[in-house]
Amino acid sequence: MPKKTRKTTKTQNGMRAEYDFSGGVRGKHHRSRLLGYVIRIRKPDGTTEVREIDREGSVVLEPDVRKYFPNSKAVNRALRTLIEIIPSGRT
């Protein structure tokens, strides 16, 4: 006999009605992520790979700037163009 499924109702924003984020804190881990973090990848053979992500040298773009530079390649290309027009000897 097939299992009966319960229909879930969604609110206007597409979230299920039973989800409650009223106690959530926006950006709770933002500052700590800027300092770096560790990723643990569990593989099917039972081993775990640990990767440390170092955020030194990373730059955070503001939302209005981000729409013009969707990835690192675009940012680096623009900065290299600016570097070429800066008079030599100036930093």
What would the pLDDT profile of 10-41 be if each residue is shown by its tens digit? 677 788 888 888 888 988 888 777 778 888 99
Q: Which two tokens stand for residue 70?
A: 């969707």
Residues with Cβ within 8 Å of residue 60, at least 6 apart in sequence: 34
34 vs 6: which has the higher pLDDT: 34
Distance CA 56, CA 34 (A): 8
Q: Which two tokens stand for residue 75?
A: 């940012």
Which one-letter DSSP state was computed for residue 29? Answer: T
At 72, the pLDDT band (50, 70, 90 cuts) reads confident
In contact, 75 and 61? CB cutoff 8 Å: yes
User: Mean pLDDT score of the chain, rounded to an integer?
Assistant: 83
